[in-house]
Amino acid sequence: MKLRSLLLGSIAVAGMSGLATGAHAADLAKGVLTSLDVCDQLGLAGLAISSDTNCLQITGEVSYQFDWGDYKSTGSGSKAGDTQIVQTPDDNFSIPAPGNGDSTVGNGKDWTSKMIAWLQFVGTADSDFGPAKAVIKIKSEQFTHAYNGYQYYDGDDTGGGTVNYEGAGTNATVQQGPSGTVLFDRAYVSVGDSTVLTAGKTGSIVNTDDDAPFNWLGLMNSDNVDAGVLWSKQGYAGNNGVADSSADVQTGGHSIQITSSLGNGLSIKAALEDLNDSNTARAGTAIGVISYASDTLTAHLSVLATGVLDGITDDTAFHTGFTGTFDKFQIRAALAGDSSGYYNALASAAATFDMFKLAASAEYAHIGTPSSPGSGYVAGQNAFGFGASATATISDGITLNLGGRYFDMDTANPNTEGYQIAASLAAAVTDTLTATGEVGYYSSNVPQALAEYDGFGTGFNDVVNQNVYYGKAILAWAPSKDFTSSIEGDIYSNGAYKATFKADKTFQ
């Protein structure tokens, strides 16, 4: 039931039941309707509380995930590992692997428990320059892992993580903070309509859209940068004399931002972000963004310069992309890079017909100057990947997906490739229940201990061939548009298995 209907209904009941006098009912109606009018005049909707001058919107979400099985090997706790298929420029692309760790303590199973909860309050009032807002978002994340008998908290935990592993016969634990601390994830003020000024602890204005591949499985390097392309992440963005360049491009945090809509789908943004970086040598990221959107085309360019507060720019980076939609066809291209000489490109296309969707994608990365020895990549190295898929609507509520993807982490050397092929069938059991089954195969011939090597071209004696079949089943339940839940089971021919339960509820 909407808040307006509830309040107006309450007024009517109060008036008809004689519980309020005529004068009192009139006063009540006047106060309530004035409060509702504030939100309406500002164009705001959802769960809200109003005064004569401000509308307070409240939104939130709670999500939970639990995993259990035997899917971590080669170490204990935070040192537990996976089966590597390939190493991409930004991370390893891996699959689960069974194992008991390094000690008798590790004879147990693996599991994780993750809870995320947040509440956001947006207070809005009118001003001569447009809506004036104060935004407060509080968040708590508790993410605990137990791998091969050793438990630790994830680094994304709002209280900080722990390092818990067995080394040289000793259980080493370093506590960074209490798990699940409630913190101010966002706290900022803004004012404006077509031009908006924002200041405080915010997210970033950087536009990294228009870069996700269209094919069903996606691409391997793309998966490791959150579906798309990005400047380098793992210390490859160049050192340039910065004392700590392990995470060069930092955005969000304490920020001053201005955005402006120029009309006809064109907008520009500028900001100073990361003003509270704990490393003063790299504090302050200057950002500029230009974006365009129409019915058939979206495009953008984001440019960044890091460490500007000390007067010396440490690194620069950029992200650009466009998506075109023309009747049954979509095309997309994206490019990102940084001042180390690293760049990452992606192209994707899709065609949708009455019963079929065909999609293909390709990605490419060129390595500049890695700042981390033993990363497995050397300057000038090139990596390439591609993928394709076909999606067919067999009948009402039944969809078949067929797809594959491939990645070569060094096009100049042999034994550096990995690939995946898979098929899935999804069926709507009821209006709220969907069952999905998937089978597939992973294969690679990449060295499994790349950290032991100084770079490719040396140390290729121990190539390990991985050939792993897998199957998964998912039952997803969505009894309402803002509540979802699912249970999933995964099993691998290398002996790994995993069960996952998820539940999520939002409100606004």
Residue 101 belongs to some domain of the structure? yes
Q: Once rounded to an integer, what is the mean pLDDT over residues 174-203?
A: 90
> What's the CA gap between 372 and 247, in Å, rounded?
11
* Percent of the chain residues topping a pLDDT of 70: 81
Considering the domain boundaries, does residue 71 fall inside one? yes
How confident is the model at residue 376, as a pLDDT? 64
Is residue 36 domain-shared with residue 109, that is, in the same domain?
A: no
Measured between its terminal Cα atoms, the distance across the chain in Å is: 13
Domain hosting 21: range is 1-41
Query: Helix, strand, or coil here: 309?
Result: helix
Element (H, E) at 29: helix 22-41
Q: What is the C-alpha separation between 200 and 304, in angstroms, rounded?
A: 19
Q: Are residues 493 and 388 in the same domain?
A: yes
pLDDT digits (tens, 9 = 90+) for 410-434: 898 888 899 999 999 999 999 999 9
- On whether both 497 and 364 belong to a single domain, the answer is yes
**In-domain check, residue 49:** no
The region of weakest confidence among 138-147, 152-161, 461-470 is 461-470
Q: What is the tally of structural domains in the chain? A: 2
Convert the pLDDT of each residue in 477-498 to its tens digit.
Answer: 999 989 999 999 999 999 999 9
| pLDDT score, position 320 | 98
Check pLDDT > 80 for residue 355. Answer: yes
Confidence band (pLDDT; 50, 70, 90) for 280? confident
State whether 108 and 3 are in the same domain: no
* Least confident piece of the model among 24-28, 282-286, 350-354: 24-28
Question: Do 3 and 80 lie in a common domain?
Answer: no
Q: Position of tokens 């994340």? A: 141
pLDDT at 211: 96
Q: pLDDT band for position 468 (50/70/90)?
A: very high
Q: Is residue 46 part of a domain?
A: no
As a whole number of angstroms, the distance between CA 160 and CA 155 comes to 6
Q: Are 234 and 90 in contact (CB under 8 A)?
A: yes
- Answer yes or no: do 444 and 491 share one domain: yes
Judgement on whether residues 23 and 115 belong to the same structural domain of the protein: no
Residue 89 in domain: yes
Position 169 confidence tier, pLDDT thresholds 50, 70, 90: very low
What are the tens digits of pLDDT across the range 288-317?
Answer: 999 999 999 999 999 999 989 999 888 899
Task: Kindly state the average pLDDT of the residues 249-258.
Answer: 94
User: CA-CA distance, 305 to 250, in Å (whole number)?
Assistant: 10
Q: Which residues neighbour 309 within 8 Å (Cβ) at sequence distance 6 or greater?
A: 275, 280, 283, 284
pLDDT exceeds cutoff 60 at 239:
no
Question: Could you give the C-alpha distances from 492 to 221, 418, 426, in angstroms and in order?
Answer: 22, 17, 20
| Rounded mean pLDDT, 365-385 | 74
Check whether residue 80 and residue 1 sit in a common domain. Answer: no
The CATH number that applies at residue 172 is 2.40.160.40
pLDDT score at 375: 56
Do 129 and 37 fall into the same domain?
no
For residue 448, how many C-alpha atoms fall within 13 Å in the half-sphere facing its CB?
16
Indicate whether 251 and 211 sit together in one domain: yes
Average the pLDDT over 363-386 and give the result.
77
Per-residue confidence band for 463, with pLDDT thresholds at 50, 70 and 90: low
pLDDT at position 22: 46
In a domain, 469, yes or no: yes
